[in-house]
Amino acid sequence: MAQIPTTNVTRRHLLLAPILTGVAMALKPWPAFAQSAGKSKLPIGIIGSGREGGAIGSLWVKAGHPVLFSSRHPEELKDFVAGLGPLARAGSVADAIRFGEVMFIAVPYAALPEIGRDFGAALNGKIMLDACNAVASRDGDIAQEIERNGIGVTSQKYLPGTRLVRAFNTMSYMIFAREANRPEPRLAVPIAGDDPEAVRVAQTLVQDAGFDPVVVGKLVDAARFQRGAPGYGQSVTAAELRKTLSLAP
């Protein structure tokens, strides 16, 4: 098993619980809920239900999608999912993969190789939205591999068989929670992937979360909005992001 900086898990979840509950409570009542009504609801499995996974998964629950939030300690998510209502539930990583027609992963980047090894067979063929960023101080050498090869290609290497789309990696979870579904123009979320159907599903889920998707290109193009690249950290509209990245309007 890869060594992940887990510190004191129980204590960390205790610290995280009020943040996640706060995120869930801060989410506003929801014009998009009505907008989504009648559209098909996708069961979504979340791997990594911390700040980022908790925030984005909560947005999808609010949009009417059933979401299984997973943890290696699912009992610690009990209060969090109870606060989100009947569409949210907690379980193990294996439960999330069984449940999810679509997966969302938000774990420290260095955990990806281990997750790919342990759950590769179950993940095979799944659409996987990947929000993980690599930080050298936290994730070690894998951050250099990403600098060399690009983050989309690297994630696909460690999660082979998934239909991977990079998404939701460029802004803080607090911005996602606060700005979701704001009055037009909404904030842009850049996405990139090689599988056209997976990209279409990701576009819909970005919209359902309350943002405007901007398709930047294939997985290789995800390097254009990885940490340190021009598309990273941009809290801007779709038109502004397209201009920054010289994409067709």
Q: Which of 90, 52, 56, 54 is nearest to 73 (CA)?
A: 90
Check residue 96 and give left, alpha or beta (phi > 0: left; psi -120 to 50: alpha): alpha
Question: Are the C-beta atoms of residues 129 and 88 closer than 8 Å to each other?
Answer: no
Range 68-93 burial, b when 16+ CB lie within 10 A, else e: bbbbeebebbeebbebbeebbbbbeb
The nearer residue to ligand NAP, 15 or 239, going by C-beta atoms, is 15
Q: How far is the CB of 34 from ligand NAP (least distance, A)?
A: 28
The nearer residue to ligand NAP, 133 or 207, going by C-beta atoms, is 133
Q: How far is the CB of 107 from ligand NAP (least distance, A)?
A: 4
Q: How far is the CB of 178 from ligand NAP (least distance, A)?
A: 12
The nearer residue to ligand NAP, 99 or 173, going by C-beta atoms, is 173
Q: Contact residues for ligand NAP (CB under 6 A)?
A: 4, 9, 47-53, 71-73, 93, 106-109, 111, 114-115, 131-133, 169, 172-173
The nearer residue to ligand NAP, 36 or 170, going by C-beta atoms, is 170
Q: How far is the CB of 93 from ligand NAP (least distance, A)?
A: 5
Nearest-CB residue for ligand NAP: 50
Range 29-67 burial, b when 16+ CB lie within 10 A, else e: ebebeeebeeeebbebbbbbbbbbbbbbbbbbbbbbbbb
The nearer residue to ligand NAP, 2 or 37, going by C-beta atoms, is 2
